[in-house]
Structure 1
Amino acid sequence: MKQLLKTSAATLLLTTTAVVSFAQSLKGVNGIRDTSYTNYSAYKHSLKGNPEISLVPEFDDKNIQTTKDITYCTIGKRKLALDAFVPKDTKTNRIAFIMIHGGGWRSGNRTQHYPLAQALAAKGYVCFTPEYRLSTEALFPAAVYDLKAAIRWVKTNAAKYKVDTSKIVIAGFSAGGELAAFLGTTGNMPLFEGAGCNDGINSSVNAIVDMDGTLSFTHPETGEGDDSKSTSAGTYWFGYSKKENTGLWNAASPLSYVGTRTPPTLFLNSSVDRMHAGRNDFIKVLNDNGIYSEVHTFDNAPHSFPIFNPWFTPMVNYIDGFLQKVFTNK
């Protein structure tokens, strides 16, 4: 039985050694879209402890060209789509910002961060919001394959959308933040590239923005993997509980790959500590390798802070400031 194992060098190997005696569970792959996490449901949940919050609405800007439902990859009959938010009258190539939605690798959708894409496009960034296969449709690493294909698609279509391919940013919230960190630390790693969509293009990125996404599924700080009351999001995504296959959970952790090739990273965090498990260890590796990072924590903010006022505008400003600093003179 093929398993994914972590080595001391923080790389993965395929092996035929059976390290667990449990069969991978496919019970969560039911083909039924999970709509439990939406902006509105997050708002209702967060309102209890934060009565001052409000959802950030989408807005129209005549200076932004919006194109929706662009197919970036086709897998069998399944078409994966993304949306593009491009500043009009762009004469020079710009920083590309690819934003991955959250929802526990099982729920959520790419419309979740339209306001953020619009706000950043208004500041001159070319923004993309890709969908990816969730755990109701396919298990890990399918989502990674999809999003690597999205990165390659952006690079392939750079001329059309006025993208500077040396300034690609991968960003995400919650599960999307974990995915962004994973993509950023495994650029061009053959095991996680997938095949059939925009092949032959380098999938590495030049900056990571992680909004409350875990850096490790096995770190002592993590809260992911508790199946005592119900099946956890991670167990659904991997098809194994953490106890059944700790090696796979470790191998799926961005912390397992951070190193000399990891790009500068911005961490934007809520007051929920478990949502950024492994962050300090991740930053230590960055520091040891002279790689720039920033951390901004919003005190008393709920986990879903990126979609709420009063944190939205400061968040946008932190992203803008970080990227301008990282890409100065590049």
Structure 2
Amino acid sequence: MGLSFASRAQQPASTLPDTSFTVHSALQKARKQHPNITVAQPAVPANVRNQTNLSYCTTPEGRALQLDVFYPKAKRKQRFPAVLLIHGGGWRSGNRLQHVPMAQQLAGRGYVAVTAEYRLSTEAKYPAAVQDLKAAVRWMRANAQQYAIDTTRIAVWGFSAGGQLASLLGTTNGNPLFDTPYCYPKHSSAVQAIVDVDGILAFIHPESGEGDDSKSTSAATYWFGSPRSAGTALWEQASALTHVSAQTPPMLFINSSVDRMHAGRDDLRQKLSSYGIYSEMHRFADAPHTFPLFNPWFEPTLKHTVDFLNRVFRPR
């Protein structure tokens, strides 16, 4: 296996953040094929409250990780299901602000929505990002009373690299390899539903383009800290497809027409079906990979998300 998880997480590739993936840069790229698209910035629902820049975990190296919380105004003793939203950017770029509009709209529909940062590959290698996000789920449970969270109904939602992380987080419920002994260790990091928006499910797969370093270093090669040719154990371990079991929660897949961005999805759905686990898939034909950030795809992405969560989180 090489380096231990702990030592790998302390080996940065660079001290400089990568700011190459932004909503603006994604818009300019997508407009080459879709000139009429616009950035999704819907009005914030009137019943939504928020608290921002909250520290949810400090790593052993002293790194304070932050998140933002968007939540409905609650009546006494009312509890809401919750969603952790994970941004994309090739495990190397992007930031949690990119999904604030989605978080606000989910909060307006009766969900506590949390957007959390995590350590990127310029700062720490795999599996640090997964460990960080599991700590964010534990934070949600530890602070459930303050934000009226129903701790039995927590979902994880991710886009692109965030979708891969969401799927891995959810398929490894209870797996000690991905949890850490710091930051609310007495609380569970398990989630009860997964929404993967164009995130890869299997790195070692005929549909996957990750690991092809022939023209430039792939995002996954940066994240794992070594090329696929040096050994595939970590690449397989980081694939949600590897971990599917009878305990995997229901999953929703929302996809563009770019097959490599959701490599392994169909195989994973077959596994889920064999265990009798519910899943859904929705695909936007001809949509760019970055579709959830833009109109006209934002609203249907939101609707698919809410419809799925309402189905699997039936009121009790």
1:29 Cα shift?
1.5
1:108 maps to what in 2?
94
Given candidates 61, 65, 69, the residue that maps to 1:84 is 69
1:21-36 mapped onto 2 (5 Å cutoff): 29-36=13-20
Given candidates 9, 13, 21, the residue that maps to 1:37 is 21
Structure 1 residue ranges without an equivalent (≥5)? 5-13, 15-23
1:125 maps to what in 2?
111
Distance 1:33 1:73 in 2: 20
- The answer to whether the 8 Å contact 2:44/2:105 transfers is no
- Distance of aligned partners of 1:90 and 1:169 in 2 relative to their CA distance in 1, 3 Å threshold: farther
Structure 2 residue ranges without an equivalent (≥5)? none
Q: Which moved more, 1:191-200 or 1:276-285?
A: 191-200
1:296 Cα shift?
0.3
- The answer to whether the 8 Å contact 1:73/1:149 transfers is yes
Q: Which moved more, 1:146-155 or 1:240-249?
A: 240-249
| Mapped pair 1:288 → 2:288 | no
The C-alpha deviation readout for 1:98-126, integer Å capped at 9, x for no partner, is: 00000000000000100000111111111
- The answer to whether the 8 Å contact 1:135/1:236 transfers is yes
- The answer to whether the 8 Å contact 1:3/1:248 transfers is no
Distance 2:243 2:120 in 1: 23
Which letter maps to 2:291?
F
| Mapped pair 1:325 → 2:311 | yes
- The answer to whether the 8 Å contact 2:11/2:125 transfers is no
1:167 maps to what in 2?
153
- The answer to whether the 8 Å contact 2:250/2:277 transfers is yes
1:329 Cα shift?
4.6
Distance 1:28 1:159 in 2: 36
SS at match of 2:209: coil
- TM-score normalised by structure 2 residue count: 0.95
Given candidates 43, 52, 55, the residue that maps to 2:36 is 52
SS at match of 1:45: helix
Distance 1:107 1:195 in 2: 27
SS at match of 2:230: coil
- The answer to whether the 8 Å contact 2:171/2:248 transfers is yes
- The answer to whether the 8 Å contact 1:100/1:129 transfers is yes
1:192 maps to what in 2?
178
1:230 Cα shift?
1.2
1:64 maps to what in 2?
48
Distance 1:279 1:259 in 2: 15
The C-alpha deviation readout for 1:238-292, integer Å capped at 9, x for no partner, is: 0110111211111111110011110000000001111110001100111001100
Given candidates 140, 145, 151, the residue that maps to 2:131 is 145
SS at match of 2:288: coil
- The answer to whether the 8 Å contact 1:90/1:162 transfers is no
Distance 1:27 1:54 in 2: 39
Which letter maps to 2:223?
W
SS at match of 1:115: helix
Amino-acid identity (%): 52
Aligned residues between the structures: 311
1:229 Cα shift?
1.3
- The answer to whether the 8 Å contact 2:252/2:279 transfers is yes
1:50 Cα shift?
0.8
Q: Which moved more, 1:285-294 or 1:50-59?
A: 50-59
- TM-score normalised by structure 1 residue count: 0.91
Distance 1:31 1:289 in 2: 44
Which letter maps to 2:159?
F
1:61 Cα shift?
3.6
1:148 Cα shift?
0.6
- Distance of aligned partners of 1:261 and 1:27 in 2 relative to their CA distance in 1, 3 Å threshold: closer
1:204 maps to what in 2?
190
Distance 1:108 1:142 in 2: 16
Write out the 4+ residue segments of structure 1 that deviate beyond 2 Å after TM superposition. Answer: 1-4, 58-62
The C-alpha deviation readout for 1:59-118, integer Å capped at 9, x for no partner, is: 444311111001000123211000000111344101101000000000000001000001
Distance 2:218 2:92 in 1: 10
- The answer to whether the 8 Å contact 1:58/1:114 transfers is no
